[in-house]
Structure 1
């Protein structure tokens, strides 16, 4: 039986970010995932570092701002230990809203890239984006190079108290794990403690844009994310479809039609990839970060913001596990909080 200081269940960006943070604090860490690392929501994500997205719940703002401040250090550590670059692909975003007025800076930016206001109120935001697949690959390499044990195709089916720690019974990979503490980073899956999370499906596409676009363009209905190499990611549907990740041609066509209305050159852009992912949702749209009970923690339920919140989530878990104070109030993200529903869990 493998024995470690901390076991992390789930090897998405959140799980691996937590593992790397804990390893940097001198703790031995094992990560178990029922699939391959960073192949679920992390692989499917858009990668916008959208601190000021008006679609986000207001209580998310302190965590988002903290994560923004941590991100340069977060990426530097990953790049140092992985020997891989995680480039910031864009450095500004045009945010369209249904209410308000457009700023002069936003109108100038719209003109630069050939967009018309389309009835939205536009703001120009100082906001980056990255390719989550770059981040996932580098995080995986950084964890491997710092001696984090990562088990793929290893399902943790039960979790039980044993002595001063926890026994994780696993199926499919390497036997049981004994850990002093456990962090559940199980994404859209409730995991062995039946956390209050559920999936919300998103279908997306990438096109080869024939004209330059260096700015994220986002409205409540659609977003376009340039990758810096000619590809532009267009997304995304929001569906209550359980764990189904089927891509439907009609939904992809509808996404492209919305994109064309906003940015006409998208009409001639060939589709190079389509995919679907599952956002880990909670009833109030806020993540679950912190203690479930003594020695057991959660870091999940980030919905559309897992990439942006990874830096602060990892740091928060690191500080909590080592008994240090946090710079922000985390009560809004407490696992055992009372939920004020934003949307209902699908039946």
Structure 2
């Protein structure tokens, strides 16, 4: 993929998922020569599996004020960013201004949804309370048994597979390089500075800086002293991809309940997800998990039961101890991080590129998400 760089790269990015590609695209746009390396497929891993919700409002959580600010800023950045990618690479990133509908299916869930809506309003977020009849007015396929709904009109969605194709095209146009099937074994550390990477075949590649963007496996790279590492754990998510042979129309907005979500692609395809499992690096797809997702989703959207199954998959979200990302310069000179995005990797993609490349260029970064906060015992 992409043309070869004639000279040594300014920056090597380890990982060709959404984070690594976003960094490479922004680096190329700002005049750097990025080289992205990935031992697997391009845009594989969690990026390939992701549903693509851009939902800072629906996913706002108590005690995560700094992360909410970051998520809102990323959502605001998205329209201009996808326009930029389209202009650069000529590929549609699959961005949809869909809005989100949060639905409660029983009294307990309705009470919890009311409390969550109050919290969102207190934080200045746009949510509108809908009676069951009004909710079915905007989404007629909803079950008549739902108890309450809230609309979050500012939450949207993107197709991560279309988005990464657009990113790859933009990187190519910008003069960057992306190589699949090239596994980085360890980082080269010389005199407390990261000077490049050593590949699985023992060859070395020198660069002015290295960005670790290897998702859930970011903590497994060799060569780094313990104090310079970022603690990243895998959080498994299973989901289904479905298709309506009749085409679009079953659901227009993203639908979220306490147990699941359904993301329409706008062309008759839907993504149903997702579990949250702390099972290490296990990526198996299990019948029980898929059964539970379908059962819960069909209870609020009965027509889902008639759709064709296209794909069942599992991915590993990269989580940090505080579930906030690690973005920017690390504990060693030449070391930078773009990992730990947990559920927000697709949403945070444009800001990940902006913030990490700012750090590469010596510009100010948001210290609340500094990779060094874990060594200092500080949380975002």
- Sort the Cα spacing of 1:318 and 1:264 in 2 relative to 1 into closer, same or farther, 3 A: same
Query: Hey, what does 2:371 align to over in structure 1?
Result: 335
Report the alpha carbon displacement of residue 198 of structure 1 after superposing the two structures with TM. Answer: 1.0
Does the CA contact (< 8 Å) of 2:230 and 2:372 recur in 1? no
Match of 2:17 among 12, 26, 40: 12
Gaps in structure 2 of 5+ consecutive residues: 1-5, 104-108, 118-127
Match of 1:170 among 199, 221, 233: 199
Q: Following superposition of structure 1 onto structure 2, how do residues 1-347 of structure 1 map, counting pairs within 5 Å?
A: 3-54=8-59, 56=61, 57-96=64-103, 98-100=112-114, 103-105=128-130, 108-114=134-140, 115=142, 116=144, 118-120=146-148, 122-162=150-190, 166-172=195-201, 175-189=203-217, 190=219, 191-192=221-222, 193=224, 194-209=229-244, 211-292=249-330, 293-326=332-365, 330-338=366-374
Higher deviation after alignment, 107-116 or 313-322: 107-116
Report the alpha carbon displacement of residue 232 of structure 1 after superposing the two structures with TM. Answer: 1.2
Does the CA contact (< 8 Å) of 1:18 and 1:314 recur in 2? yes
Does the CA contact (< 8 Å) of 2:100 and 2:255 recur in 1? yes
CA distance in 2, matches of 1:180, 1:229: 44
CA distance in 2, matches of 1:165, 1:199: 25
Does the CA contact (< 8 Å) of 2:101 and 2:149 recur in 1? no
Query: Hey, what does 1:345 align to over in structure 2?
Result: none
- Sort the Cα spacing of 1:30 and 1:297 in 2 relative to 1 into closer, same or farther, 3 A: same
- Sort the Cα spacing of 1:6 and 1:106 in 2 relative to 1 into closer, same or farther, 3 A: farther
CA distance in 2, matches of 1:42, 1:62: 23
Report the alpha carbon displacement of residue 140 of structure 1 after superposing the two structures with TM. Answer: 1.5
CA distance in 2, matches of 1:117, 1:287: 38
CA distance in 2, matches of 1:324, 1:167: 21
Query: Hey, what does 2:125 align to over in structure 1?
Result: none
Higher deviation after alignment, 137-146 or 300-309: 137-146
- Sort the Cα spacing of 1:172 and 1:33 in 2 relative to 1 into closer, same or farther, 3 A: farther
Q: Give the SS at the match of 1:3.
A: coil
Higher deviation after alignment, 287-296 or 308-317: 287-296
- Sort the Cα spacing of 1:273 and 1:66 in 2 relative to 1 into closer, same or farther, 3 A: same
Q: Give the SS at the match of 2:69.
A: helix
- Sort the Cα spacing of 1:279 and 1:265 in 2 relative to 1 into closer, same or farther, 3 A: same
Q: Give the SS at the match of 1:278.
A: strand
CA distance in 2, matches of 1:16, 1:60: 22
Runs of 4+ residues deviating >6 angstroms? none
CA distance in 1, matches of 2:205, 2:212: 14
CA distance in 2, matches of 1:41, 1:263: 26
Report the alpha carbon displacement of residue 304 of structure 1 after superposing the two structures with TM. Answer: 0.8
Deviations 1:176-207 (A, max 9, x none): 21111111101001133443101111110022
Report the alpha carbon displacement of residue 149 of structure 1 after superposing the two structures with TM. Answer: 1.8
Q: What TM-score, normalized to structure 2?
A: 0.82
Q: Give the SS at the match of 1:336.
A: helix
Aligned-residue Cα RMSD (Å) equals 2.5
